Structure 1
Amino acid sequence: MPEVKLTAEVRTEFGKGAARRIRRAHKVPAVLYGHGTDPIHITLPGHETLLALRTNNALLSIDVDGTSQLALPKQVQRDPLKHTIEHVDLVLVRRGELVTVDVAILVEGEAAPETLVVIDHTSIPVEADATAIPTEIVVSIEGLRAGTQILAKDVKLPEGSTLGIDPDALIINITGAQSEAALEAELAEAEAELGIEPTINEDAETPDEAAEGESSEESTNSEQS
């Protein structure tokens, strides 16, 4: 994974007021820590940081006062409405250091017809070199039939990476899709268990009403002829 270089400024003001001023200047408050060092409170450029963190597990090269240090995003706080970054926690890493991170599962292809794809894990923990962390793991379900299960040990990892989860953990389960009648029966059973009365459409005609209507229509036609 290529490093993304960001130039940081040391932060000397703290608190909500200071954080708001930093964001108004289109910058991001952050903290850099790890390896037994004291936390360093810094400010990052807003736009560049936003672009860098679009990549999962982005490896950042943070330049602070002319000294560059490698770091991984540990926690990213985002504004749910503006989709801007509010704060970033960064953890220091070294080249050659093994780290465990959650890597997203990317499902490709389409399973066999009349199947249902159940994804039990959208990401899995993986141990890898800090400078070679995969951004995603691709899993193909093309043509897989009902009854197929993909376990963690079946997932193909990039060279140098190892699983950080039970090898027999279920990742993806391919099951048979339920028919509409089966779904309705299951819903009716669930409603019965909860004591919910079936909904009756008062506007719908009963079989007797429908037959009576047809008989009346036939009589009218006979009178007209």
Structure 2
Amino acid sequence: MSNTLKGQVRERLGSRHCRQLRQQGLLPISVQGGGKPNADLSVSLDEFQAARRHHERMFDIEVAGGTNETAVVREIQWDSLGENLIHVELQRVTRGVEMEAEIDVTFVNQFRGGVLNVTHSTIMVRSIPSLLPDVLEVRADLLEIEHFLFARDLKLPEGVSLASDPDQEIAVVVGAEGEEADAEGAEEDEDAASVPKVGEKPKPSDD
């Protein structure tokens, strides 16, 4: 599935001009790849955000006075607070032709009983553009202590195959034993500190 956006060619580049576009409700974007020069465009910020709320990743861009583009989102840039979109990079694609793309892996539902260490937050997948998922969700509450999650363990949508190394580690669940051991070690250090050294007078008791 794709969404249609109306684009305008950006005649001027640079952060100052991009800031002016955003003040007008426009979003600066760049369409790259496909053996063609980059296309620097602007589209409606509201329309793009509305499409993203429905997890749209593929867009048909109708460029006024230019060449229409079909592309998928490759990178979204936010401001320093992570609240406002400032720029989007898209990759040209051909409908019905398989491609590889990097997909975010996110963990949902709270994990209890240990610490979830995420080692890789993205994987590479292969599919036709219209079937590319926006994100892959993993239920953290179903993971067990000392459980290793590999790329091969991820459930991919129909029509999508794994392009990353199947043995790529995604996350590991670590138990709380390490924290307990640290606490015990700290107690032992305190006990050792209370024992007087050779030739040292013992400290008077509080009793």
Task: Give the TM-score, by structure 2 length.
Answer: 0.75
Q: Does the residue aligned with 1:19 lie in a helix, a strand or coil?
A: helix
CA deviation digits over 1:73-126, x for unaligned, max 9?
233332224722222222211112222222222435566x74433322222221
Instruction: Look up the equivalent residue of 1:78 and give its one-letter code.
Output: W
Q: Does the residue aligned with 1:37 lie in a helix, a strand or coil?
A: coil
Mapped partners of 1:144, 1:87: distance in 2: 36
8 Å Cα contact 1:108/1:139 also seen in 2: yes
Tell me what 2:122 maps to.
123
Using the TM superposition, name which of 52-61 and 118-127 deviates more: 52-61
1:30 matches 2:29: yes
Alpha-carbon offset, residue 55 of structure 1: 6.2
Alpha-carbon offset, residue 133 of structure 1: 0.5
Alpha-carbon offset, residue 32 of structure 1: 2.1
8 Å Cα contact 2:3/2:56 also seen in 1: no
CA deviation digits over 1:112-171, x for unaligned, max 9?
x74433322222221221110012223345454433322211222112212222111222
Instruction: Look up the equivalent residue of 1:157 and give its one-letter code.
Output: L
Q: Does the residue aligned with 2:17 lie in a helix, a strand or coil?
A: helix
Tell me what 2:69 maps to.
69
Instruction: Look up the equivalent residue of 1:26 and give its one-letter code.
Output: G
Q: Does the residue aligned with 1:38 lie in a helix, a strand or coil?
A: coil
Unaligned runs of 5+ in 1: 192-197, 199-205, 212-225
Mapped partners of 1:167, 1:82: distance in 2: 32
8 Å Cα contact 1:56/1:103 also seen in 2: no
The two structures, once aligned, show a CA RMSD in angstroms of 3.2
Task: Give the TM-score, by structure 1 length.
Answer: 0.70
Tell me what 2:5 maps to.
6
Q: Does the residue aligned with 1:153 lie in a helix, a strand or coil?
A: helix
CA deviation digits over 1:5-52, x for unaligned, max 9?
211112223344433322221212222232222322221112222333
Q: Does the residue aligned with 2:177 lie in a helix, a strand or coil?
A: coil
Q: Aligned ranges for residues 37-76 of structure 1 at < 5 Å?
A: 37-53=36-52, 58-65=57-64, 68-76=68-76
Mapped partners of 1:43, 1:107: distance in 2: 33
Q: Aligned ranges for residues 1-225 of structure 1 at < 5 Å?
A: 2-53=1-52, 58-65=57-64, 68-81=68-81, 83-108=83-108, 114-142=113-141, 144-178=143-177, 181-185=180-184, 208-209=205-206, 211=207
8 Å Cα contact 1:114/1:177 also seen in 2: yes
Number of matched residues? 194
Q: 1:73 to 1:12 in 2, by over 3 A?
A: same
Mapped partners of 1:32, 1:148: distance in 2: 40
Instruction: Look up the equivalent residue of 2:94 and give its one-letter code.
Output: R
8 Å Cα contact 1:152/1:168 also seen in 2: yes
8 Å Cα contact 1:57/1:133 also seen in 2: no
Unaligned runs of 5+ in 2: 194-202
